[in-house]
Amino acid sequence: MDREFLDQINNDHDLDHAIAEEISDDIAYYRTILSNVVMIGAPDEDWVLVDTSIRKYHERILHACEKRYGNKPPKAILLTHGHFDHVGSAKKLAEYWNIPIYVHENELDYVTGEKSYPPGDPTVGGGMISLLSTIFPTKPEHLEKWVKVLPNDGSIPFLKDWRYIETPGHTPGHISLFRDSDSCLIAGDAVSTEKPESSWAIFFPLQHIYGPPAYFTEDWMKAEESVKTLAQLKPANIIAGHGLPMHGEKMQEELQHLADHFIDQAIPKHKRH
């Protein structure tokens, strides 16, 4: 049933709509049906791809990347974590480009066939995506041929101006990316800029800062600490895994409010775990 669902939503877009939106000279993102794919690097420079959406989206991602970079492949793929809507097309893209895939060491087992994620929790409420989460794939990916562990000092290969920040909670090895020079934050699923449990948000996005997708978040105490860590950075821009990019004072105020009131604002009152 999960494959049928994914095949159906994959038919909702064709290649003509697979175009990245530029945020700055060296950052662009492609909004897929379930999550965002981020490209770091100017069109005339080396670049890195962050996250890869769901399975069977590789042709659309390739089209979006080639429109921006021509035939120049990225130096690597970087995964914020290994959930199906971030890792889905990683293998196909790594094969096509013949490049490595980097993950945090605590996420390694989930992309090398060793561990499965817990099943989605439909009891968190909030919308159709939560209800559908029980059919979302949770089995581990097999990226052994391409995967490499990120350095433990926070540095990111091929991105000397960026560092990764450990933001566990949503998954054990979840990371976010931060560039100090312009305070740009790529948050993965540590926070969202749309209500991630709601299918309406996919088609009618309203920009607000929300917590991580509740149906897949494993450790709410660590998730809270991760949000507090991100708020302390005072990012000027946020590109989250779900939702449109946000910037400015309103975004910073909402992020701080989420950090200060995480228990009331983000943690579901009714949840299975």
Asked whether residue 206 is domain-assigned, the answer is: yes
User: Considering the domain boundaries, does residue 119 fall inside one?
Assistant: yes
Q: What pLDDT score was predicted for residue 34?
A: 87
**What is the per-residue pLDDT for 124?**
79
Is residue 272 a part of any domain in this protein? no
Sequence-ordered strand ranges (E) for the chain = 21-24, 27-31, 36-40, 48-50, 76-78, 101-103, 147-149, 163-166, 175-179, 184-188, 237-240, 246-247
- What is the tally of structural domains in the chain? 1
Determine phi and psi for 80, rounding to 5 degrees. -70, -30
In a domain, 270, yes or no: no
38-57 pLDDT, tens digit per residue, is 999 999 999 999 999 999 99
The pLDDT tens digits for 212-263 are 999 999 999 999 999 999 999 999 999 999 999 999 999 999 999 999 999 9
Residue 254, domain member (yes or no):
yes
Q: How many CA atoms lie within 13 A of 1 on its CB side?
A: 5
- SS3 at position 15: helix
Structural domain contains residue 273: no
Rounded percentage of the chain residues whose pLDDT exceeds 70: 86
> Does some domain include residue 92?
yes
What is the residue range of 62's domain? Answer: 2-153+161-265
- φ and ψ at residue 262, rounded to 5 degrees: -60, -40
Going by DSSP bridges, is the β-strand pair 76-78/163-166 parallel, antiparallel, or unpaired?
Answer: unpaired
pLDDT tens-digit readout, 79-134: 999 999 999 999 999 999 999 999 999 999 999 999 999 998 888 766 566 666 67
Residue 180: inside a domain: yes
Claim: this prediction has a pTM higher than 0.85: yes
User: At 140, which CATH number?
Assistant: 3.60.15.10
The reported pLDDT for the residue numbered 33 is: 86
